[in-house]
Amino acid sequence: MFFRKKNKEIIKTAINVPMLVIPEEFYGGKDPVIHYQNKDKIKNKPEKLLPEVGINNRLAGLFKNKIVLYSVIGVVFLLVTGVITWYYLNQAGFFAKPVVVEPELPKITTDNTNKPTTTEQVSVIEEITTTTLVENTTSTLVGKVKTLEFLPVFLTNSADMDNDSLTDLEEETLGTDSGVWDTDKDGYYDGQEVYNLYNPIGLAPMKIVDSGVVQEYIDPKWQYRVYYPATWQIGTVDEEGRQVLFSASDGDYIEIDVVDKEKNDTFADWFAKTATGQRFIDLSDFVNRFKENGKKRGDDLVGYFVNFDKVYVITYHTDSSGFISYRHFMQLMLQSFRPNKTLVEIPEQAVLGEPTVNTTVTP
């Protein structure tokens, strides 16, 4: 009952499929001749020509589409704008690379004590180029080496009416009488008293520095001392105070220079290197009123005082007239110069006695 087989029903479904039947002419290995019914229509049918596809046709088709056209224009605009923006930002340094600071490496020192010695010698030749600066004025210092200038030897003095060894301009400066050779009537002529640092307008004993017509100059840096006419102007040329000018109102002046000297050099060595155009044989030794040793030229227009590693040079300068108006003031400065403070004092001027008159009484 449970395992009873049921009768299967076979349902046949009719399939309606068109069937193609081979013509009878092809059976039995026959090779029939094929006849076309529309043969003439096939032969006379015109061929369709496909259009040539070229670059121009493609571009024409591309730009016919407005969306594509606008897209291309937008891309080109963005590219141009980007290039221009990059250029200006780059010029402004916006894209500059950051500076990378490299750490400083420690110096490597090599110890050559353990290295074996070799016989190879290396010669190092250094080329040294020296430049000499030449200036035309006496106020120029090249380092600490002074380029000195000097007047010609034996220039003529200006007028001296009373022949008292003071020019008329010097007497005007001192207040002496240019028509009398001994203004103060003390028995000494005026030029003699000035040379020995005494007052030509006061009765002896009187020193010229106490008269008021002459003053003492003490250099604030180099500490040398010298007498000069009180009416003259004093000027320092350089910052170190190595060159000081004592100037008269008419343009003449006396110059004091402090020039360095090598400690191992003699004065003759220094003179040969520094006093260009001067002859050493024209100099003579002298001792001034303060017992200072010096050298001076025969015309008293140039003087030198040596003090260890320095030389004090005193020179006279005049204008283009060619006359020396203050030669005796130059002698005044040479006689009073001291490289530093000294304890030497000028002795009092001796008073000349009245002349003795011998009388003979006859009985």
Residue ranges of domains in the chain, CATH in brackets: 141-164+216-336 (3.40.1000)
Q: Say how far apart CA 330 and CA 303 lie, in whole Å.
A: 9
Least Cα distance to 138 among 251, 277, 238 occurs for 238
pLDDT of residue 150: 75
Q: Could you give the maximum distance between any two Cα atoms of the chain, in Å?
A: 227
Positions in the chain short of pLDDT 70:
1-21, 25-64, 92-147, 154, 204-205, 320-321, 351-363
Q: Which residues contact 259 (CB under 8 A, 6 or more apart)?
A: 144, 145, 146, 148, 242, 270, 274, 310, 311, 312, 313
Burial class (CB in 10 A: 0-12, 13-18, 19+), 32: exposed
pLDDT of residue 186: 84
Amino acid at 354: E
**Given the structure tokens 């010669």, which residue do they identify?**
123
Q: Say how far apart CA 325 and CA 159 lie, in whole Å.
A: 8
| CA dist list (Å): 205 to 196, 237, 348, 351 | 12, 37, 6, 7
Using DSSP, state whether 96 is helix, strand or coil: coil
Q: Say how far apart CA 335 and CA 318 lie, in whole Å.
A: 20
What is the C-alpha radius of gyration for the chain, rounded to an integer number of angstroms? 61
Least Cα distance to 350 among 160, 208, 198 occurs for 198
Q: Say how far apart CA 265 and CA 273 lie, in whole Å.
A: 10
Q: Which residues contact 123 (CB under 8 A, 6 or more apart)?
A: none
The DSSP output letter for 92 is T
